Structure 1
Amino acid sequence: MITVIHPTILRSVLEFPGGLLPARIENSGKLLLIIKIPKEYILAARIKSGFSFYLAPLPSTSGLTVALTTAFFDDGDEPLVIKTPLFDEPLGKDLLELLTYDEFEVYFFDEHGREWMSHRASVHDEGSLIATGEEFGLLSYHPQTVNSIYENLERWFGCRTVEDDVNAIKVVFEEELSPPDIFILNFRQDDHDYLGSGGFSHSSLERENPGYFQERDIVAGLKRAFRGEQLALNPMRRDNGKEFVDVLAVNNTHLLLVQAKDSPNTEVSLSRTIDRKRRTSHSQIAKGVKQAKGAAAYTRGHQNLELSIEKEEFDIAVDGKKVVSLVVVQEMFTDEGDAFVARYREMEGSGDVFVLLDYAAFNAFCHEFPDEQQLLNAFTDYGAKILAKGIWIDPRSYVLEFIQERLGKLP
């Protein structure tokens, strides 16, 4: 495992927001590949013993350029994908170099920096632009260029042909570099300083009963912005003994009420049809919104929340705090924006702020807004813009716009 062989690399992995991260090995000068992605992508790669790179040809004003889609085939037609713009910078050049190798080492991490598997992999390229020798160039970085590449890359991949599938660069796992079926048991005190933690947690890649894992992953995400003492897992109402929310976060100005909905991460669940996955997403959203309504209504009707966790009683003063209702589901489909806007309208009168995100988008918010007020302001602004414009805004686009604004202010 790379975190054992090269422990200093973990800091870079934790700081990396996600995607493809090449790293050069000092003694050989060769590149290895770190892939930081959600658990579903990792399991799909393990089940299929590999993944594919699509080097997409894209037109530009200066000639032919390329961008990269990395596909993990849980579904033959609509796989899980990472979209990576390639610019005339070290990252883009290193990724292109990596694609010319006959083999390389690849290491898989999830969004919390947990290393789940690693392989020596062979590379098979029989038809990409690299294999055919067609000339292309890399563009200089510019925020508007990034947006254009993402849009064109998504369009290209959605309209790809059988020939494009044949010409994809296949990465095939040849040798495991880490033990299979890793089980992680975490006793770090700093990771379990929130109410209801139990003092430890465990995690695994395959998850039959997802609730335990997702709720703790949500807490781990929120801990980037909140202190442990501000967070509570599975608080119960003392008046009726029922669960209030899955996760509660509180500060001087806000109450963040989180409802979490996930699906098993197994070969059976990943192999379900897209139609089945859509129905599951619809069901999760409906249940999450219903629970969010109930929690928000209860909060607005009380000056003080009388709660308990494992028989330990505690009170939360509402005191005019703004209520942020957050529903986190496993997956959302970007072509269903009108239905998502309808949920925002439905929740408009239930609390001060409502936000609906899939887990990957939630993690992106937590990574880019690692301060409690920044995060709460981002949730508020995101939800307000959807209601004001009456159209759904892809949360990844919202976060990307923030990143670009921040980079534009750097000296």
Structure 2
Amino acid sequence: MYLTIMKPEVLQDVASLGRGLWIVDGPDGPVLVVKAGKEFILAAREKRELKFYLAPYESDEAQGLTLLTACFDDPISPLTIKTPLMGSDPVTEGLKSLPDHFSVCFFDEHNRELLSSTAHASLEELRKHAKGVNPLGKEHWHLMMEQADDWFSFTTREDDSRAVTLTLLEDLFPSDFLITDLTRQGFHGSRGFSNTHLERPEPGHLQELDIIYLLQRAYSAEQIIHGPVKVSDGEELTDAVVLGTEVTLLLQAKDSPNTAEMMGTKLERKRKKALSQLKGGLSQLRGAVSTIEREGNPALRLVDGTPLKIDLAARPLLGVVVVKELFSDTYEEYGAMILDFMDDVRVRVVAFDYNEFEVMTRHCPSEQALLSAFWQISECAVEQRIYPRLRFTELPPR
């Protein structure tokens, strides 16, 4: 909470930034702002270091560099952030004069500052490369991101030895605090406030709230219902229902604990967990659709007992499953599960990992735009019998 408390006027700028690295003016000099998911932030806190790699880029006659920031929570599959250096963008300009001693503040996608620390890195070579970067147009952005991914998957020991180590030194504010949010609470089922923290031993409820906050980029809070409960058996229908103007969204969320003890989980175990979460989410959606088709308009209430007077049969249904993470080389298995669901249940469904869903709701900040994207994904899956991998990436600032 260092930057939040010491220089709150910067928060408006931070809120406008997408995921990635940014450099802002802090109370005592430049501050490296890292916007990332809770997993990256927790790993940085525990490992106390990041690694900077410079991935080369080449397309026709254009050449450039992508700054790839890695946090080695796992020695084989680290968490990464890719930042194309475009030559005249704020990040490249900021790197040219970033001193070796500076502050780092980590914000999540909801602009909550969850970790802040002093830091040290020997940046002489990085500053030199930043000064030598040739300006590139925004048309190179996506390809730079893709090439950086490919390059990093084949890094050598020599590449590792050239990487710059950023060491987190002293925390500027304790990271075990609790954040109470009194905003974004107008949805049905809200308690009027919410609490969040970096470590999450019990992830379900907090993940659902974060997803509801993302949905509020495209829908009004009044259209969203958190955890409607069936009166008949006291069981939850879905994690969230969105009463759109065109379709009704039935959403299921699946997350894993975000704790220091869970760090270092083997990649194969993560893959199995992703399949399990997707399977579980689809199964729960199947039950919700079956209830609606069988009862037409089941009697529902909020968790606090307040009756819900809504008509779930008034509009077509669209299922959404959001899991912790999906892996690009496992989409054949994901797709088979999703297509089997749609063939059997006859309801369209789309699935994302949380990071994809966050980027999508930022690129599609209206109901019309979001549904258009959902429809394109679903149509591609139905027509080509392959569930498409999303290609949304952060665009450079204007």
TM-score normalised to the size of structure 2? Answer: 0.92
Aligned equivalent of 1:119, options 112, 117, 120 = 117
- TM-superposition CA deviations, 1:254-296 (whole Å, max 9, x none): 1111111100001121211111111111111111111111112
Structure 1 window deviating more from structure 2 (3-12 vs 44-53): it is: 3-12
Q: What's 2:278 paired with?
A: 285
AA aligned to 2:108 is: D
AA aligned to 1:91 is: P
Residue 346 in structure 1 maps to residue 340 in structure 2: yes
Q: What's 2:51 paired with?
A: 52
DSSP 3-state at the match of 2:150 = helix
Structure 1 window deviating more from structure 2 (38-47 vs 277-286): it is: 277-286
Answer whether contact 1:63 1:136 (CA < 8 A) is retained.
Answer: no
Aligned equivalent of 1:250, options 222, 229, 243 = 243
1:325 Cα deviation from its structure 2 partner: 0.5
Going from structure 1 to structure 2, the CA distance change for 1:334 and 1:210 (only over 3 Å counts) comes to same
Q: What's 1:312 paired with?
A: 306
1:377 Cα deviation from its structure 2 partner: 2.4
AA aligned to 1:146 is: W
Going from structure 1 to structure 2, the CA distance change for 1:321 and 1:103 (only over 3 Å counts) comes to same
1:252 Cα deviation from its structure 2 partner: 2.8
1:71-220 correspondence to structure 2 within 5 Å: 71-97=70-96, 101-124=99-122, 137-143=133-139, 145-186=140-181, 188=182, 190-220=183-213
Residue 364 in structure 1 maps to residue 365 in structure 2: no
Percent of paired sites with the same residue: 32
Distance in 1 between the 2:114 and 2:372 partners?
Answer: 33
Distance in 2 between the 1:122 and 1:297 partners?
Answer: 57
1:386 Cα deviation from its structure 2 partner: 2.8
RMSD: 2.4
1:13 Cα deviation from its structure 2 partner: 1.7
Answer whether contact 1:125 1:170 (CA < 8 A) is retained.
Answer: no
Answer whether contact 2:93 2:130 (CA < 8 A) is retained.
Answer: no
AA aligned to 2:136 is: S
Q: What's 2:5 paired with?
A: 4
DSSP 3-state at the match of 1:199 = coil
Distance in 2 between the 1:68 and 1:393 partners?
Answer: 27
1:85 Cα deviation from its structure 2 partner: 1.3
- TM-superposition CA deviations, 1:320-377 (whole Å, max 9, x none): 4121111111011111111121122112232442111001111112222221232222
1:94 Cα deviation from its structure 2 partner: 2.4
Answer whether contact 1:205 1:265 (CA < 8 A) is retained.
Answer: yes
Could you say which structure has the greater relative contact order, defined with CA pairs below 8 angstroms and 6 or more residues apart?
Answer: 2
Answer whether contact 1:225 1:370 (CA < 8 A) is retained.
Answer: yes
Structure 1 window deviating more from structure 2 (335-344 vs 376-385): it is: 376-385
AA aligned to 1:111 is: E
1:302 Cα deviation from its structure 2 partner: 4.1
Distance in 2 between the 1:94 and 1:353 partners?
Answer: 45
Answer whether contact 1:64 1:135 (CA < 8 A) is retained.
Answer: no
- TM-superposition CA deviations, 1:142-177 (whole Å, max 9, x none): 32x223212211110000011111211110012211
Distance in 1 between the 2:4 and 2:24 partners?
Answer: 13
Answer whether contact 2:95 2:126 (CA < 8 A) is retained.
Answer: no
AA aligned to 1:359 is: Y
- TM-superposition CA deviations, 1:195-240 (whole Å, max 9, x none): 1111221111001010111011111111122222211111111122
- TM-superposition CA deviations, 1:109-162 (whole Å, max 9, x none): 011011111111000359x6767x79953342132x223212211110000011
Distance in 1 between the 2:131 and 2:15 partners?
Answer: 36
DSSP 3-state at the match of 1:311 = coil
AA aligned to 1:369 is: C
AA aligned to 2:87 is: D
> After TM superposition, what 4+ stretches of structure 1 lie above 6 angstroms from structure 2?
none
AA aligned to 1:355 is: V
Going from structure 1 to structure 2, the CA distance change for 1:63 and 1:224 (only over 3 Å counts) comes to closer
AA aligned to 1:231 is: I
Answer whether contact 1:56 1:66 (CA < 8 A) is retained.
Answer: yes
Going from structure 1 to structure 2, the CA distance change for 1:240 and 1:393 (only over 3 Å counts) comes to same
Q: Structure 2: give runs of 5+ residues left out of the alignment.
A: none
Q: What's 1:20 paired with?
A: 21
1:90 Cα deviation from its structure 2 partner: 2.4
AA aligned to 1:141 is: G
Residue 329 in structure 1 maps to residue 323 in structure 2: yes
AA aligned to 2:389 is: D
Q: What's 1:295 paired with?
A: 288
1:240-279 correspondence to structure 2 within 5 Å: 240-279=233-272
